[in-house]
């Protein structure tokens, strides 16, 4: 049986996860990657997405990640995230409201009169969509 690794997900405000995991799958900027015990050390940047892991009891867990960095060591994965939220803590109504706001901003960006930061509005839309998808799949 494979050994567990320590998973720590930290934001500037708090520890989101600090527990043992069998496997960690994260949204790297160059593609999703997985880490098991004994993995070769590396660092990578993260994109907005869903980090999933199997806890020590074999239950699959999900965490929304809004960018940041990850360091993989043979016995530990550390994620320094801009923001992170366990699936169970996602406020679905708040995420849907954020999606609506972002869509309105992007629609307004087509108008030459508006001074809209397209990149920020697009990132906000992506965060909202991923949070909604993650929150709506609670049955998994």
At 18, which CATH number? 2.60.15.10
The reply to whether 14 and 65 lie within a common domain is: yes
**Domain with 97 in it:** 91-136
pLDDT band at 52 (very low <50, low <70, confident <90, very high): very high
pLDDT band at 84 (very low <50, low <70, confident <90, very high): very high
The reply to whether 56 and 118 lie within a common domain is: no
What is the per-residue pLDDT for 34?
96
The reply to whether 17 and 71 lie within a common domain is: yes
The reply to whether 59 and 117 lie within a common domain is: no
The reply to whether 96 and 44 lie within a common domain is: no
Other Cβ atoms closer than 10 A to 38: 11
The pTM of this model reads 0.79
Please give the full DSSP string across 67-112, using - where no structure is assigned: EEEEEEETTEEEEEESSEEEGGG--HHHHHHHHHHHHHHHHHHTST
Of 14, 26, 121, which is closest to residue 68 (Cα–Cα)?
26
What are residue 7's DSSP bridge partners? 19, 77
pLDDT band at 93 (very low <50, low <70, confident <90, very high): confident
Report the C-alpha gap between 14 and 65 in whole angstroms: 14
From 87, 104, 126, the end of a domain falls on: 87
Q: Stretch 18-41: mean pLDDT, rounded?
A: 96
pLDDT band at 113 (very low <50, low <70, confident <90, very high): very low
């Amino acid at each position: 049986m494979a050994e567990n690794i320590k998973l720590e997900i930290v934001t500037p405000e708090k520890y989101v996860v600090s527990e043992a995991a069998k496997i960690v799958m994260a949204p790297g900027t160059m593609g999703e990657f997985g880490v098991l015990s004994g993995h070769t050390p590396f660092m990578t940047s993260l994109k907005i997405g869903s980090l999933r892991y199997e806890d020590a009891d074999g239950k699959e867990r999900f965490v929304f990640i809004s960018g940041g960095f990850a360091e993989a060591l043979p016995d530990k994965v550390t994620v320094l995230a801009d923001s992170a939220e366990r699936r169970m803590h996602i406020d679905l109504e708040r995420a849907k409201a954020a999606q609506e706001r972002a869509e309105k901003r992007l629609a307004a960006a087509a108008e030459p009169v508006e001074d809209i930061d397209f990149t920020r509005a697009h990132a906000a839309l992506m965060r909202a969509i991923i949070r909604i998808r993650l929150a709506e799949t609670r049955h998994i």
